[in-house]
Amino acid sequence: PLSLLKDPSLLKTDGLINGQWVAGSSRFAVHDPATGQRLADVANLGPQETEAAIAAANAAWPAWRAKTVKERSAILRKWYDLLMANQDVLARLMTAEQGKPLPEAQGEVAYGASFVEWFAEQAKRIDGETLPTFDNNKRLLVLQQPIGVCAAITPWNFPLAMITRKVAPALAAGCPVVIKPAELTPLTALAAAELAQRAGMPPGVLNVVTADSAQSVAVGKALCASDVVRHLSFTGSTEVGRILMAQCAPTVKKLSLELGGNAPFIVFDDADIDSAVEGAFASKYRNAGQTCVCSNRFYVQAGVYEEFVARFAAKVRTAKVGNGFEPGVNQGPLIEEAALDKVQRHLDDAVAKGGRVVAGGQRLSGLGSGQFFEPTVVADATPAMLCAREETFGPFAPIFRFETEQEAVDAANATEFGLASYFYSRDIGRIFRVGEALEYGMVGVNTGIISTEHVPFGGVKQSGLGREGSHHGITEYLETKYLCVGDI
């Protein structure tokens, strides 16, 4: 698929440190999850290159923070323009290495780029404060200053957007960054870095350290241990998030963590069922179920249970599974074998505990050597099933039955996670009651799609720390300083 790239100069396979492409001494392979085909061999960098990237970022910091906000904003804006001008090439790289259908990949490029556009604008709105004084000989001010060198460790499910959501606010705030992209999807990250170079990003301001899974652990350790790195932003599993948090304790690093979810999707008796079916489909099967805000557990009230199950299953059966480059495909492959195994495990467990398969249920072995799984719906789910507690991160939808509003809210909140949640109701009182009662960072009411660049994205409980996007997103990269000026 990469031979079809309109601009082969965006196929970068080396890391980027201090404005130089770095080949390293070994390489690791990147594969197409739809075909198993080897796409490229990428630089496998380690702690030594990580130290070099941190040093380059630190050296670049004074000049970057000294630029006027308008100057930084202009570079970010140019980067945004280049990302959008190369939307097709970036989307093809993404579909090739990640598997999502090409229209979804094009959508992610626009979504990913939108963070760069937004934070180019927000750069100009990093306002300080003047406070009333406690002494007429003194003046009190509050400054917002860039925190320093920032590190970003990102996952494979959104190969561009999870990078721009962290890097754009850091850069806008005046911080240089070191990015460790996911080992499964480094090509999109490197193409975006090349476009940042073309936009005039000074050497050392944006660095990319690529590494395979073993070296990623070592790179992560180096980033966490460094006392030059003042902030770490991570999106990925809660398990790895806990490790990174512990590793950052000795240097008391500021952390932004966007971890796992276990999103409930509740359909009340008074819901618009057509709309709920559409929302359920969009929220569950986007990116083959591999997003942290994908619905993981469906709770449907008894009065509409059978109707919802039948209509949702019918909708799911119309979905086309295949190579993301094929027109009309709704769902591509899963990212790796282990992802398929987890779907199979959750399905087998649900069936063993009385679950009723009403759509899908099979691994699709007829589609080349790729990792395809039918979009699957299982009715009569119970709290004893694994899928009630664990995030499946795949195209599997268990549907639980409930009687009362309180029962639904209690079940939805019975998890250590608290990222996204969804519910459908047309009762305005219930919308407020349930919206306020759900212990989640984000609640979609009568919609399954909630993400955009100008809203605060993030979780509560063990789903993470901090918010990305919106005017809140940039505060993660700023330190508040109180200035007390005497002898006036």
Catalog residues that contact ligand ADP under the rule CB under 6 A.
153-155, 180, 182-183, 213, 216-217, 220, 236-237, 240, 243
Smallest gap from residue 461 Cβ to ligand ADP (A): 17
Smallest gap from residue 237 Cβ to ligand ADP (A): 4
Contact criterion met (CB below 8 Å) for 196 and 48: no
Neighbouring C-beta atoms of residue 416, cutoff 10 Å: 11
Smallest gap from residue 362 Cβ to ligand ADP (A): 24
Residues 6+ apart with CB under 8 A from 72: 64, 123, 171, 172, 174
Give the DSSP letter of residue 11: -
Comparing C-alpha atoms, which of 185, 209, 253, 200 is closest to residue 82?
Answer: 200
Contact criterion met (CB below 8 Å) for 91 and 109: yes
Decide whether 220 or 322 has the Cβ nearer to ligand ADP. 220
Comparing C-alpha atoms, which of 396, 245, 246, 248 is closest to residue 313?
Answer: 396
Decide whether 78 or 253 has the Cβ nearer to ligand ADP. 253
- Measured distance CA(22)–CA(209) in Å, rounded: 9
Residues 6+ apart with CB under 8 A from 25: none
Contact criterion met (CB below 8 Å) for 260 and 419: yes
Smallest gap from residue 45 Cβ to ligand ADP (A): 12
CA distances from 55 to 63, 72, 202 (A): 14, 21, 14
Smallest gap from residue 112 Cβ to ligand ADP (A): 16
Give the DSSP letter of residue 78: H
Residue 434, SS3? helix
- Measured distance CA(49)–CA(24) in Å, rounded: 8
CA distances from 356 to 65, 307, 350, 376, 398 (A): 58, 15, 8, 11, 9
Decide whether 47 or 107 has the Cβ nearer to ligand ADP. 47
- Measured distance CA(39)–CA(159) in Å, rounded: 16
**Alpha-helix residue ranges (DSSP H) falling in 148-297:** 161-173, 186-198, 213-225, 238-248, 273-285
CA distances from 324 to 16, 97, 282, 287, 320 (A): 29, 10, 17, 10, 10
Decide whether 287 or 415 has the Cβ nearer to ligand ADP. 287
Decide whether 189 or 478 has the Cβ nearer to ligand ADP. 189
Extract the runs of DSSP E, i.e. beta strands, from 238-374: 254-258, 263-267, 295-301, 356-359, 363-364, 372-373
| In the complex, residue closest to ligand ADP by CB | 220
- Measured distance CA(32)–CA(26) in Å, rounded: 20
Amino acid occupying residue 309: V
Residue 20, SS3? strand
Decide whether 49 or 183 has the Cβ nearer to ligand ADP. 183
Give the DSSP letter of residue 403: S
Decide whether 130 or 213 has the Cβ nearer to ligand ADP. 213
Contact criterion met (CB below 8 Å) for 280 and 396: no
Residue 82, SS3? helix
Catalytic site residue from 97, 104, 108, 258:
258
Decide whether 180 or 284 has the Cβ nearer to ligand ADP. 180
Smallest gap from residue 345 Cβ to ligand ADP (A): 15
Smallest gap from residue 254 Cβ to ligand ADP (A): 17
Contact criterion met (CB below 8 Å) for 282 and 333: no
Told to judge if 51 belongs to the known catalytic residues of this protein, a careful annotator would answer: no
Smallest gap from residue 141 Cβ to ligand ADP (A): 39
Decide whether 100 or 180 has the Cβ nearer to ligand ADP. 180
Smallest gap from residue 441 Cβ to ligand ADP (A): 18
Smallest gap from residue 66 Cβ to ligand ADP (A): 31
CA distances from 342 to 49, 182, 286, 337, 425 (A): 34, 20, 17, 9, 32
Decide whether 153 or 199 has the Cβ nearer to ligand ADP. 153
Residues designated catalytic: 258
